Structure 1
């Protein structure tokens, strides 16, 4: 009995130590000249998210509105201190001018210095930190210029032509096909990534259970319990996870996609095959031979396009290891399954709800098609579609990522220039509440209205560039913004030419977002009807 009591006391002592370790900084914001949200043990200030009482987007909007008129406030994301910057000028100062203090993102995938070849996601551009990230950004940046996108465009149009034939066949007889938009566009984005990043031809809209799609879908399902547990473990025990060689996703999928990449590279090198796709560019980047070329102005790439900073234009001559090479291919797959398909989904939703906007966009599509005189869509013709760009830009304003984070890598003296001064300590984070800013009437009058005219030639000069953050801000912005915009516009062009988006009996208005710490996702899906045009 005494032994059992000793074990019990020891267990209680360990729990007490662990609890103290996780809550010892809960008074971090006390004494700082900024307001802060209430903190609950272990749950921090984001308990409502953890308990799935709010969608992430709604939570960001709620806390943003709560501190109206405040430039910065504090909260705890579980046990992590976070400074939330509401003011676009302060965001610009932190993310651009003083970027050297905020080079990294919060580590979600583990330590990027981990040399274990089984751990890949920490070696992606998103997961890398400090100098490793700088070197990789500079190595990859030449692959995402306008000239490289132009060269890849034909691969995209070749796929879209086949995809349209398949969707039209589904509408034969009834004159329409009902689709859940997340599933529909994830399949399309998956196939685009397959051809542009992996050099494969896949037809997931038709061959619904093909292995490439099902393996990718499983790998990118970050809401599975096992994945959430890994995220938790990476956050609190990163060194242990690294030594164990555990990645955030299952090894089965990592091995599957790694083999595809190795086989593709091996075949191309053995037979001298060259294809204008991402894997070919990465093969050049891996050898340190991919260089920036002189580019013409890329203003026509779209209002939402983010420019590369000095970091990405440094000539490094660095080479990539095989795990790093494979990791970059995997992050493109993640972008297709989540970010790009989400952009598609909400744009289609807004077009279905705003038929006047859809009609105007259709008229531009028809006019462009007429000018092409029966020829396939070209990169130049797509870039000239001004209303298409306005619609895409407004959709990205309405439905952006909820928030963006940066990790403070060395103590930072915050100074707003108006008397507000304090220290952001190394190891704490900052949040940029993107959804809150995008829906602030101070920057966007009547923000709940879907209004592409905000981005017209006459009006877009009124938009504060730092209050528009669909692809991030500063040197650590999204490297693939040109690719994403090109893909969304090219696919939407073909869909609009052949179909109209309409509501059906399953369409939820307003859409209810999935609750919890997930990105943009609809609780019950976004169901729309694609009606064949005459």
Structure 2
């Protein structure tokens, strides 16, 4: 005892604990101030991320707010809970981080690869180090072993369509057929794909809460042993997986043996089974492939319905001008980017180009993809749907890293080619048979909600499909 009074000692101890906690949570609050980087003022326990933590703004809205608040700055600083995070706006710096100096920023910094969640534990999006290398090689082999051009007969899904339709339901039916053919060679009755898709599109409150923890406090999500989809993979799901093309490719390249082999440090990368690995890969195809393709095609049809003159430019002599269709798809990917941000973690001290600022190890870097795509510095009339900007003459004038719908560098989306082929195939099949028009049910603009790092269309979109007269 320092003092004879017990209450006085207790009060002093409590004050010391409060002071230590306060020092811990505010330790990095001056990080951006001393580096002369404009930043959002933080508050204890929330940092400068309080709008997002309290669900007052989504990730996209928060990044947009900071991007536009400092229009002339190349960098904007934030404090995520208590850890500094840097928003990078300059395409030249982004190029160095994502490509040239990739060795310094090869991690996403999400910290979920040790989760008990089967959907995430062996998911390429969350993996790091040797595990990421092995999973990427495995997925490349899988993609090479699949149909490179989706060859599902689309007339079955489209036959009889001559009315106002729910576009998302129609496209879901079409994409179910495409992905079942590619992943399961038609052997899945839709059980696995449908359950995974619906769990993403129609989340219950507990699922939203888990998703929130996964994004804001990934360490808590891992510590509590939470899972994305309760009860999966089930016995029925495992039966489907055993007969899938994915398991066949995993066996072919011996990926499970490689994953379970000791690494250079003498410890196992993972204790994984074929079915767990296959389920992780299927969930990756759904979350990072199926859902983005569904949103892009929906957005494309929505814009073409609103812009009939552009829709007509796609059709030439009762056929589709594929080059102009590609320009339309690229414009949709710019205007409605599937991912609003790209994140990377600095793995060792790094000197920022030109500014000479030293970025410390473990600092997270955020690339504001959506805002760069809508920045007047890079695009004229950025909020307008104008596919002509992606024709060769205009495209050459733009900075390569001012267009990042699939990311860039070694961690660029591995399924870019497959996604573009799928989107092109489905859109072409529809546009060759139908004129797409708006209806009274069609909203004036699309509304999106954030789903972790991905954006999905919030409401059903209704459009009129009128058969073309050939």
Q: 1:499 to 1:36 in 2, by over 3 A?
A: same
Residue 262 of structure 1: how far off its partner (Å): 3.9
Task: Give the Cα separation in 2 of the matches to 1:16 and 1:508.
Answer: 53
Instruction: Say if 2:85 and 2:363, in contact at 8 Å, map to a contact too.
Output: yes
Task: Give the Cα separation in 2 of the matches to 1:393 and 1:361.
Answer: 14
**What runs of 5+ residues in structure 1 fail to find an aligned partner?**
1-6, 204-209, 266-276, 291-317, 369-383
Task: Give the Cα separation in 1 of the matches to 2:371 and 2:171.
Answer: 26
Per the alignment, residue 284 of structure 2 pairs with: 331
Q: 1:517 to 1:80 in 2, by over 3 A?
A: farther
Equivalent residue runs for 1:117-266 within 5 Å: 119-144=118-143, 151-153=147-149, 156-165=150-159, 168=160, 171=161, 175-179=162-166, 181-200=167-186, 211-221=191-201, 223-231=203-211, 242=222, 246-255=225-234, 258-264=237-243
Per the alignment, residue 378 of structure 1 pairs with: none
Instruction: Say if 1:52 and 1:515, in contact at 8 Å, map to a contact too.
Output: no
Q: 1:54 to 1:516 in 2, by over 3 A?
A: farther
Instruction: Say if 1:52 and 1:516, in contact at 8 Å, map to a contact too.
Output: no
Residue 254 of structure 1: how far off its partner (Å): 2.6
Task: Give the Cα separation in 2 of the matches to 1:90 and 1:18.
Answer: 36
Equivalent residue runs for 1:285-296 within 5 Å: 285-287=253-255
Per the alignment, residue 95 of structure 1 pairs with: 98
Per the alignment, residue 458 of structure 1 pairs with: 393
What SS does the corresponding residue of 1:462 show, helix, strand or coil?
Answer: coil
1:27 equivalenced with 2:14 (yes/no)? no
Instruction: Say if 2:340 and 2:453, in contact at 8 Å, map to a contact too.
Output: no
Instruction: Say if 2:192 and 2:240, in contact at 8 Å, map to a contact too.
Output: no
Task: Give the Cα separation in 1 of the matches to 2:25 and 2:235.
Answer: 38
What SS does the corresponding residue of 1:84 show, helix, strand or coil?
Answer: strand
1:367 equivalenced with 2:319 (yes/no)? yes
Q: 1:263 to 1:519 in 2, by over 3 A?
A: closer
The CA deviation string for residues 453-481 of structure 1, in whole angstroms up to 9 with x for no partner, is 11113322122211110000111110000
Residue 121 of structure 1: how far off its partner (Å): 1.2
Task: Give the Cα separation in 2 of the matches to 1:45 and 1:240.
Answer: 20
Task: Give the Cα separation in 2 of the matches to 1:101 and 1:140.
Answer: 24
Q: Of residues 323, 347, 350 in structure 1, which corresponds to 2:300?
A: 347
**What runs of 5+ residues in structure 2 fail to find an aligned partner?**
1-9, 259-269
Residue 352 of structure 1: how far off its partner (Å): 1.1
Residue 402 of structure 1: how far off its partner (Å): 1.1
Residue 196 of structure 1: how far off its partner (Å): 1.0
Task: Give the Cα separation in 2 of the matches to 1:392 and 1:46.
Answer: 34
Deviates most, 192-201 or 63-72: 192-201
Q: 1:11 to 1:164 in 2, by over 3 A?
A: farther
Task: Give the Cα separation in 2 of the matches to 1:202 and 1:58.
Answer: 39
Q: Of residues 350, 360, 367 in structure 2, which corresponds to 1:412?
A: 350
Task: Give the Cα separation in 1 of the matches to 2:360 and 2:165.
Answer: 52
Per the alignment, residue 402 of structure 1 pairs with: 340
Q: Which has the higher contact order (CA 8 A, sep 6+)?
A: 1
Per the alignment, residue 449 of structure 1 pairs with: 384
Instruction: Say if 2:289 and 2:415, in contact at 8 Å, map to a contact too.
Output: no
Task: Give the Cα separation in 1 of the matches to 2:257 and 2:155.
Answer: 33
Q: 1:408 to 1:488 in 2, by over 3 A?
A: same
Instruction: Say if 1:176 and 1:531, in contact at 8 Å, map to a contact too.
Output: yes
Residue 45 of structure 1: how far off its partner (Å): 3.0
Deviates most, 13-22 or 490-499: 13-22
Per the alignment, residue 3 of structure 1 pairs with: none
Per the alignment, residue 374 of structure 2 pairs with: 439
Residue 31 of structure 1: how far off its partner (Å): 0.6
The count of aligned residue pairs is 448
Residue 289 of structure 1: how far off its partner (Å): 12
The CA deviation string for residues 116-170 of structure 1, in whole angstroms up to 9 with x for no partner, is 6x6341211111112221232233324445xx56x442xx3324232222xx2xx
1:385 equivalenced with 2:322 (yes/no)? yes
Residue 493 of structure 1: how far off its partner (Å): 0.8
Q: 1:101 to 1:260 in 2, by over 3 A?
A: farther
CA RMSD of aligned residues (A): 3.6
Per the alignment, residue 75 of structure 1 pairs with: 78
Per the alignment, residue 266 of structure 2 pairs with: none
Residue 185 of structure 1: how far off its partner (Å): 2.8
Deviates most, 49-58 or 463-472: 49-58
1:428 equivalenced with 2:363 (yes/no)? yes
What SS does the corresponding residue of 1:521 show, helix, strand or coil?
Answer: strand
- TM-score scaled to structure 2, two decimals? 0.83
The CA deviation string for residues 302-335 of structure 1, in whole angstroms up to 9 with x for no partner, is xxxxxxxxxxxxxxxx998523343122211222
Task: Give the Cα separation in 2 of the matches to 1:354 and 1:75.
Answer: 39
Q: Of residues 37, 41, 45 in structure 2, which corresponds to 1:38?
A: 41
